Amino acid sequence: MGKSHPIELRTRVQAEIDAGQSRRTAAERFKVSASFAVKLAARVARTGSAAPARQGRPPGGGKLASHLEALIGWVEAEPDMTMPELAAKLLAEKGVAAHPASLSRVLIKAGLSFKKNAPGLRSRARRCEGSAA
């Protein structure tokens, strides 16, 4: 995804349009596309601001967000559960198909990490927040 134009350029182009120049003339003067100037003027008319819109998906969404508590409960009840097993359990109990890698990312964001214990068996444990160990 490309970067948005700097706010300084946006304000200069909009000031030129506000001064009475056409959108295409303002675009030529500042060496930007006519499409940018037209869309910028429309955005300023709609929102009152020349600031660029946020790019990307909104945070906190996704189909697994509503099932996070169940996932954490299953993992804490059975720490040695693998991601494919967790995906199968989610599909069987909730009817939601999810890739094991997606489940892993959601659990890591929730503060669970993949740890090995002394005998070499793996288990999931909550990360310590704020400790320096």
Q: Topology of 65-126 in CATH?
A: Arc Repressor Mutant, subunit A (1.10.10)
Q: Which tens digits make up the pLDDT trace of 50-94?
A: 999 888 877 767 889 889 999 999 998 998 889 999 999 999 999
Check residue 132 and give its pLDDT: 54
Contact 48, 33 (CB under 8 A): no
Exposure class string for 94-127: b at 16+ Cβ within 10 A, else e: eeeebeeeebbebbeeeebeeeeeeeeeeebeee
Res. 130: pLDDT tops 80: no
Is the pTM higher than 0.85?
no
Check residue 116 and give its pLDDT: 57
